[in-house]
Amino acid sequence: MSNIIRELDSLQLRDDLAPFNVGDTVKVYVKIKEGNKERVQMFEGTVLKKQNGGVNAMFTVRKFAYGVGVEKSWNLNSPNIENIEVVREGKVRRAKLYYLRDRVGKAAKVKEKMR
């Protein structure tokens, strides 16, 4: 029984997305449906957290827009995500960056990883 479940899960996993980590600044291209039209909208921000693995993997991106912090969470294997583009890699020492919620402006920046 568990072999069947593993096979079904492996069919739903996506491998076409760019690998990214917590602290990275990413552009997430999401399909938006309005009536009978469909378009792609970009959401750019810092990855606050990644959780779980496999089919149920989730990630949260935070950006600061018009003086207000905006967070969105997506399922990593969602068909609504068209593409994920890594803009810059962040250097962090934590798995969850909840402390960024209390910071504004330059204090909310994450150091860039030097290659």
Q: Residue 6: its pLDDT value, please?
A: 83
Residue 87 neighbours by CB under 8 Å, 6+ apart:
24, 25, 26, 27, 44
Q: What pLDDT, on the 0 to 100 scale, is given for residue 38?
A: 95
CA distance 33 to 64: 24
Residues of the chain with confidence (pLDDT) below 50 = none
Fold of the CATH domain 2-104? SH3 type barrels. (2.30.30)
pLDDT at 30: 96
Exposed / middle / buried, residue 28 (Cβ in 10 Å: 0-12, 13-18, 19+) = buried
| Predicted TM-score of the model (pTM) | 0.87
Question: What pLDDT, in 10s, does the model give residues 31-46?
Answer: 999 999 999 999 999 9
| The two three-digit tokens of residue 108, written as one number | 């909310």
Looking only at Cα atoms, what is the longest distance across the chain? Answer: 52
Q: What is the pLDDT of residue 7?
A: 85
Q: Give the per-residue pLDDT at 2.
A: 83
What are the residue ranges spanned by the domains of the chain? 2-104
